[in-house]
Amino acid sequence: MRRSDLVSELELAKDKKQQGGRANAIFWILLLNFGLYVADHLLQIRQIKALYLYHAFPSWYEFVTSTFCHANWNHLSSNLFFVYIFGKLVEEEEGNFALWMSYILTGAGANLISWLVLPTSSVSLGASGAVFGLFTISVLVKMSWDWRKILEVLILGQFVVDKVMEAARATTITGAALQVNNIAHVSGALIGAALVFVINRIPLSSNDDNPKASKDNKDKRS
């Protein structure tokens, strides 16, 4: 092996190691959900309950913070499983920033619609609006005429019909009872579809001046 080839191989290995060392966005989202659950239910820090979405007199931040809070362990574990599955797909396709924006916008948007529709006595919490949003986004960004992509979409679709509708829950507390907030499920999915539609309508003019980016996008479309 020539010296130049050896240097290239070492630099490539170094780049891969550095990339692998960075924590992904999905890791921080899962950690934040789990950390708030521990603070809320195990350490019983009262201030955490101020992060729930109280429909009577909501603060603006509650529409976001409540998507990281959960009512019990089953609620947390089922949601985080699907956040990991679909969030990882979104992050692999679109990147870290896109995953954060997708989670926050679909979760907060689902909470906003729930607040407009549900009784003022309700209290909402849970990541399920974001779960359904991430599911929709992960499916739509993979849609193409490539048979492998079509197969992935079909598998994901079957999975969501059989599993997500059974386990993913956005909890609403009405009185003393815990209820499944199906409005958040549907809203999160619709907002996810709207996000993909809007983003796809944005012209990528900057790629015209960047041959490498244009080539990368061309390869991705093929």
Query: Cα(36)–Cα(42) distance, rounded to whole angstroms?
Result: 10
| pLDDT computed for residue 18 by the predictor | 45
* Phi, psi dihedral angles at 82 (to 5 degrees): -75, -30
pTM for the structure as a whole: 0.72
Residues forming beta bridges with residue 173, ordered by sequence position: 123, 178
| pLDDT computed for residue 160 by the predictor | 59
Pick the catalytic residue from 102, 138, 185, 187. Answer: 185
Query: Cα(219)–Cα(40) distance, rounded to whole angstroms?
Result: 47
Of the ranges 131-145, 183-197, 204-218, which one carries the lowest mean pLDDT score?
204-218
The number of C-alpha atoms within 13 Å of 45 and in the hemisphere containing its C-beta is 12
Angle between helix 96-117 and helix 73-94 axes, rounded to 10 deg: 130
Q: What confidence tens digit (pLDDT) does each residue in 179-197 have?
A: 667 677 778 888 888 888 8
Which domains does the chain possess? 24-221 (1.20.1540.10)
> Looking at this protein, which amino acid is placed at residue 7?
V
| pLDDT computed for residue 169 by the predictor | 53
**pLDDT-based confidence at 112, cuts 50/70/90?**
very high
**pLDDT-based confidence at 110, cuts 50/70/90?**
very high
| pLDDT computed for residue 1 by the predictor | 53
| pLDDT computed for residue 197 by the predictor | 83
pLDDT (average), residues 69-94: 89
| pLDDT computed for residue 218 by the predictor | 43
Query: Cα(187)–Cα(185) distance, rounded to whole angstroms?
Result: 6
Pick the catalytic residue from 66, 122, 124, 128. Answer: 128
**134: Cβ contacts below 8 Å, ≥ 6 apart:** 82, 83, 86, 87, 89, 90, 99, 102, 103, 106, 192
pLDDT (average), residues 112-129: 89
**25: Cβ contacts below 8 Å, ≥ 6 apart:** 87, 91, 96, 97, 99, 100
**Nearest Cα residue to 66 out of 136, 114, 119:** 114
Active site residue 70: no
pLDDT (average), residues 82-102: 89
**pLDDT-based confidence at 71, cuts 50/70/90?**
confident
Active site residue 8: no
| pLDDT computed for residue 201 by the predictor | 74
Is pLDDT at 74 greater than 90 in this prediction? no
| pLDDT computed for residue 220 by the predictor | 47
Average pLDDT of every residue of the chain:
76
Length of the chain measured in residues: 222
